[in-house]
């Protein structure tokens, strides 16, 4: 068994769509970034890569590469999944925390779990999404950003 942790944060920006966990959410702002800036999937990918002993997503998908401009992070997650499987490892489970004052994450958590599980070819019960606010403290608390933390457990494939 191998454990990995991941973290990501992006600023909120008017004029961008908000995508979290591969799900588009109606909101007045979206996340600023080179790709779709999906902090949920970025944290998850970094956790998976870390557990597999591989470099972070910035190494694999550098923001300087226009091939990744506005790309869906679901596409990147599929690539990370193949990299992890190439190391002889598979996902046992993932636990992800989203930090945001708004929008409320709970109404979208099941859809996020299902979307992630579909890409990773696993059961949605192995993917957990939960949310918290930052109690009006820091960038997330001031509604300037959204962040996510992820922990994954990988197992050796037989």
Share of the chain above pLDDT 70, in %: 100
Which residue matches tokens 């494939």? 157
Region 46-53: mean pLDDT is 98
Structural domains for the chain: 2-156 (3.30.1330.50)
69-122 tens-digit pLDDT:
999 999 999 999 999 999 999 999 999 999 999 999 999 999 999 999 999 999
DSSP string, the chain: -EEEEEEEEEEEEETS-EEETTEEE--SEEE-SSS---HHHHHHHHHHHHHTT---HHHHS-TT-GGGTT--HHHHHHHHHHHHHHTTEEEEEEEEEEE-SSS-SGGGHHHHHHHHHHHHTS-GGGEEEEEE--TT-HHHHTTSEEEEEEEEEEEE--
Nearest to 130 by CA among 101, 103, 109: 109
* 90 burial level (CB within 10 Å; 0-12, 13-18, 19+): middle
Bridge-based pairing of strands 29-31 and 23-25 is unpaired
Q: Is 90 exceeded by the pLDDT of residue 127?
A: yes
Take residue 150 and report the two structure tokens written for it.
Answer: 């992820």
pTM for the model stands at 0.97
Decide: 53 and 87 in contact? Cβ < 8 Å. yes
Residue 4 has pLDDT above 90, yes or no: yes
Reply yes or no on whether the pLDDT at 158 is more than 90.
Answer: no
Question: What confidence tier does 16 reach under pLDDT thresholds 50, 70, 90?
Answer: very high
């Amino acid at each position: 068994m191998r454990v990995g942790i991941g973290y990501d944060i992006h600023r909120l920006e008017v004029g961008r769509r908000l995508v979290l966990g591969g799900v588009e959410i109606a909101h007045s702002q979206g996340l600023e970034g080179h790709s779709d800036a999906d902090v949920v999937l970025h944290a998850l990918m970094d956790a998976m890569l870390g557990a597999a002993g591989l470099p972070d997503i910035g190494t694999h998908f550098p923001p300087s590469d226009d091939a990744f401009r506005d790309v869906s992070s679901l596409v990147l997650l599929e690539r990370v999944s193949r990299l992890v499987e190439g190391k002889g490892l598979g996902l046992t489970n993932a636990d992800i925390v989203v930090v945001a004052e708004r929008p409320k994450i709970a109404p979208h958590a099941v859809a996020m779990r299902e979307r992630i599980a579909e890409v990773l070819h696993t059961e949605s019960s192995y993917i957990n999404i939960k949310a918290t606010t930052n109690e009006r403290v820091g960038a997330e608390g001031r509604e300037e950003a959204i962040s996510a933390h992820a922990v994954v457990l990988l197992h050796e494939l037989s």
